[in-house]
Amino acid sequence: MPDILIYVPKNKRDEEFSDLGDFFWEKVSSHEIDKDWEYYWSLSHTPKKIIKNESKVMFTDGKNVIAEGIIIEFDDINIYFKSLTKVKYPQPKKAPTRGFTYVT
């Protein structure tokens, strides 16, 4: 199952996650997010290989995956996901500097 990996540098986290709600990153860091809540992330193009309700979106700091969720929907420029969870494990492949990369 193809997942996607998105790089979010520390100095950009609050800015990048601002679309997802006030203090979103702080909520992820302190486990204060509602796992049933739906979030979205805008991309320059939609990943074509993802499978709804199976593929994961993983957010990395450039070294470790720091949060992940299940992709539940997508359109031309957004992916929608839920069950966002704070995690910490080595990223499965080199992170892109922009956009996303597929992880299988």
DSSP state at residue 94: P
Could you tell me where the DSSP H helices lie in 1-104?
13-16, 24-29
> Could you state, in order of their start, the residue ranges of all structural domains in the chain?
3-103
Question: What percent of the residues of the chain are helix, what percent strand, and what percent coil, each to the nearest 5?
Answer: 15, 40, 45
End-to-end CA distance of the chain: 6
Distances (CA, A) of 19 to 2, 4, 22, 39: 25, 19, 8, 9
CA distance 102 to 5: 6
Q: What is the pLDDT of residues 40-80, one digit of tens each?
A: 778 888 788 899 999 999 988 889 898 899 999 998 888 88
The reported pTM is 0.79
Sheet containing strand 78-90, strands side by side = 39-42, 78-90, 64-74, 56-60, 3-7, 100-103
Tell me the per-residue pLDDT of 11-48, one tens digit each, with 9 for 90 and over: 665 555 545 555 555 655 555 556 666 777 788 887 88
